Structure 1
């Protein structure tokens, strides 16, 4: 399949690995921003094929994982209301709130439905004019344009029983927060290619210059990631710090102008809390005043939410790259995908889920076999 099979070629992977090994002369730590990249890295054992002196730090790039507990609890409260149809992508249903999740709300009689698009939720609202339909709008810049379009269409079509619980977050402010942390060890970033396909690369040069870190825009197939690592290593070894687009088949510098225009019309930038990290200034979107009537938080005014994270879960440390998932005492024991303590275990892009799925259960990963085929 074009752009998939050709980016899993083991011969090309070996050539990239040889270049990385030959170029690396000192220890380097780089962070892959996106959870999709983390899963590809762990699935293909890419981190185990790199030189021992290169560490890949898993970043907070999973929108399900960073949705704050308070927002999850608000979603649970709204979904429990009579005459509400609560619509969400499937990966949110098992994310734990303080004392339950959306599956438990559904089993208790709540009308919780899995949809594949916010437009599906809009159609449900059109078909059920006597009920309130709420869509749980989460995600990074990748899903925000579709959610903005759904709200825009709701207003254009006069569908007044539709609203959205918005918890969108933005990647560049998160990178800045990571670099400002006193515990930061990141020396380069593998930026998320799908985010940049929407927003372009314009926000990254300033970050690269201010914090003296290379930022390499990277895709998700094994060769994409190896090429991103290779370019980052070359910059680090030369003492450079610039933005490098290693995903040109999907990313243009200007991004997607139509999507950016829709975002600017429907949303406005706001401070946003990230689960396990805290509030990052300017890191989120909310509905702009012109569309505030479609804001579920504004419409339902849920109050009295008291949140409490699990005392055994260290997902916050995982999201900040301070520990690997298998360094948490709860990992794989009292915390599993069937009984998750934190969102990083239940999400399809969560780092804990990747380590569990691909059996990275030991704190010290085994060395790869001497004659191992790298990827493919």
Structure 2
């Protein structure tokens, strides 16, 4: 298939891998964090970590939007459907994330709550227009990639004066989470970062300059194919060897330095930045999430239904938090693959299609490299 098969060429993969092996310095370790869960799945699906030198360590970051959603936010979404009797619209991955008291959106739905799986915010908006006598809430999650579509529909709802539609906004911001991890003096040690692909098509590569300039970390934005990942790793190793901390863009076919300016301006119009937001595994992260701006406050489900936020601790048997911080691998968790499986998940990292635990389980990785 054109434009995909070219990035899965095994002969080229062997050439890049050979260059990586030639250029790594045996006396040092290269600790590289791939922030995005999509990159974690590429590493596992194609067995890339198995062909890297042993002193190149890939660290899995918090780049899975479902995984980083704290239990308190899932509880609030369920409260909307159960207590306020709204039609709650959400993506499929969030349905099975364990919440308080052994409940989940899927179980709440089975008990009678009107919770519906949708493919997009547009689907939720359509349901609102088809049910004018019911309050419809879209559970908006995701990084900068899924934020512009939410903004588009909110503009449409305002223009069409739709009264029964609102958004429970949980959109989070990638650079803020990266800086939070790097700011932790007791956290995981990182030499370089593989920048996310989809997020970067929206925000561009420029927002990562602070990671290079202030934190002296090498950054390479990479696409989602195996050759993208291998080339990005080679570029990071070369930066580290040269003592450089720069932002480079391997994914030039889709990412511009300035990003998608139209989408960025749309987000600025519809959303404001929250002072703080809780991430699973990272605690409260300053200026790391979005809320609806005053011009769109009418559509804010938190205000419309007076939703208080309650912080809820994670299951003690689950290492999801440490995995999201890059401090542990899924195989370090005693529950992994035993009591915690995709069929019986304890934590969100096993539920989401982008979760690190799901990647390890799906592709048969029971141990570290």
TM (norm. structure 2) is 0.96
Aligned to 2:324: 319
Instruction: Specify the alignment match of 1:293 in structure 2.
Output: 298
Q: Are 2:357 and 1:352 aligned? A: yes
Superposed counterparts of 1:56-67, under 5 Å: 56-67=58-69
Alpha-carbon distance between aligned partners in 1 of 2:84 and 2:54, rounded to the nearest angstrom: 56
Decide whether the 8 Å contact of 2:206 with 2:257 is kept in 1: yes
Cα distance in 1, alignment partners of residues 2 and 72 from structure 2: 42
- The verdict on how the C-alpha distance between 1:82 and 1:286 changes in structure 2, with shifts beyond 3 A counting, is closer
Q: 1:272·1:282 contact (CA, 8 Å) conserved in 2?
A: yes
Contact 2:76 2:309 in 1 (8 A): no
Residue of structure 1 in register with 2:281 after alignment: 276
CA shift digits 1:33-84 (9 cap, x unpaired): 1000000101111011101000000000000000121111000111213641
Say if 2:123 is the partner of 1:120: yes
Which 5+ residue runs of structure 1 have no aligned equivalent?
366-376
Note the alpha carbon deviations across 1:199-248, whole angstroms, 9 max, x for none.
Answer: 11221112211111111000110000001101000000111000000000
Residue among 163, 168, 172 paired with 1:169: 172
2:73 paired residue number:
71
37, 40, 53: which one pairs with 1:38? 40
SS in 1 for 2:328: coil
The question of 1:48 aligning with 2:37 is answered no
The answer to whether the 8 A contact 1:335-1:341 is kept is: yes
Q: Measure, in 2, the Cα distance between the counterparts of 1:84 and 1:176.
A: 37
**1:195 aligned residue (183, 199, 216):** 199
| 2:255 equivalent to 1:251 | yes
Q: How does 1:260-271 map to 2 (within 5 A)?
A: 260-270=264-274, 271=276
Matched residues, number:
364
Q: How does 1:123-142 map to 2 (within 5 A)?
A: 123-142=126-145
Structure-1-length-normalised TM-score: 0.95
CA shift, 1:302, in A, is 2.8
| Paired position in structure 1 for 2:107 | 104
1:93 to 67, 92, 95: 95
1:12 corresponds to: 12
Q: Hey, what does 1:157 align to over in structure 2? A: 160
Q: Is the 8 A contact 2:72 2:309 kept in 1?
A: no
Separation in 1, partners of 2:220, 2:49: 17
Contact 1:164-1:295 at 8 Å conserved across structures: yes
Q: How much does 1:306 deviate?
A: 6.3
The CA distance in 1 between the partners of 2:33 and 2:331, in whole Å, is 18
Deviation, 1:307, is 2.5
Does structure 2 conserve the Cα–Cα contact (< 8 Å) formed by 1:98 and 1:309? no
